[in-house]
Chains A and B, each alone.
Chain A
Amino acid sequence: MNTLQLCLILSGLVFGIGLAAALARSSAILVLLGVELMLNAANLNFIAFWRFGPAPEAGTGVLFVLFAIAVAAAEAAVGLALVIALYRHQKSIRLQEATRLKG
């Protein structure tokens, strides 16, 4: 096993932790944090492939990570504003109680 494979396995494990948290937890904030962890796992992949790829001088992986961090920051801001709006309406951030749109 070379170093690139080790990085990719680390990224896969981080993604698995984020996915399990997003599926298991009831709190909207913890679900959002699980999604953030999955985004970070994807960023780990970009950096690993840039680091061990054939043409690191192009800088594509680093640029992609910078844009992904910017988009993740925007997603966190909007997501947490939605959490606050959810709390204002139902006085709880438990996702099981957010059933207003249920048919």
Chain B
Amino acid sequence: MNATLVFLGIFILATAGTALSLHNIVRSVLLLVLSWFGIAAFYLWAGAEFAAFAQALVYGGAVSMVVLFAVLLTGRGHGDAAIAPPPPGRLVAALLAGGAVAGLIAATVIRTPFASVSDDAPSLPVRRLGALLMGPHAAALLVTGVLLTAALLGAVVIAAGARDDKKGPP
């Protein structure tokens, strides 16, 4: 059993679990950024360096900033980042559902016989990744670019659209 993997797993689970149980959204986001960096470290451990840097840049850099801006734009005053805890019934039901799904996955994985795996990390250089992206997967890359552009335009329209709402009665 790999000690690095166990350490990374404990780090990811501890930060994610703590982040999503806090009542202060800003602290939750900051802890979740640590969890995303832990996942990027997992990718580095697995030998997928490019995916690790993409994860760190997109999640740790971009998504966290967008979330923090959303928190700041939707807060009404000092201390508004703290939100009320969920009702106990819903909390217990959600924990049961999450625990049941995680337990089902873990039981299935443990019972499934996997072929013996080698512990040597595979190497996928960036040149090969670029050739794959520009060759057989070029159409998917173009579709992703179009999707990102459409999502950006849609987000701008949704977030800035209802300007007429600010006009009060004369």
Contact = CB atoms under 8 A, between A and B. Distances in A.
Contacts, number: 244
A36 B86 contact: no
Contact of A23 (B58, B94, B151): B94
Interface on chain A toward B: helix, strand, loop, or mixed SS? helix
A77 B54 contact: no
Interface string A1-29: 11111111111111111111101111101
Counting chain A CB atoms within 10 Å of each CB, the highest count among B62, B91, B98 belongs to B98
A85 B161 contact: yes
A81 B51 contact: no
A14 B35 CA distance: 10
Contact of A2 (B29, B116, B137, B159): B116
B102 to A, nearest CB: 3
Contacts of B12: 10, 14
Interface residues of B, number: 86
A71 interface: yes
Contacts of B121: 51
A84 B9 contact: no
A12 B99 CA distance: 10
Interface string B73-86: 11010000001101
B62 A9 contact: no
A4 B106 CA distance: 12
B106 A13 contact: yes
A6 B10 CA distance: 12
Interface of A: 1-21, 23-27, 29-30, 32-34, 36-37, 40, 43-44, 47-48, 50-52, 56-57, 59, 61-63, 65-67, 69-78, 80-85, 87-89, 91, 93-94
Given A73-B62, A78-B154, A80-B69, 12 more contacts: A7-B5, A11-B105, A23-B98, A24-B86, A24-B93, A29-B70, A33-B20, A43-B39, A57-B122, A62-B51, A69-B55, A85-B162
Interface pairs A-B: 10 shortest CB-CB: A16-B102, A20-B98, A12-B105, A56-B122, A24-B94, A74-B151, A23-B94, A21-B20, A81-B155, A81-B159
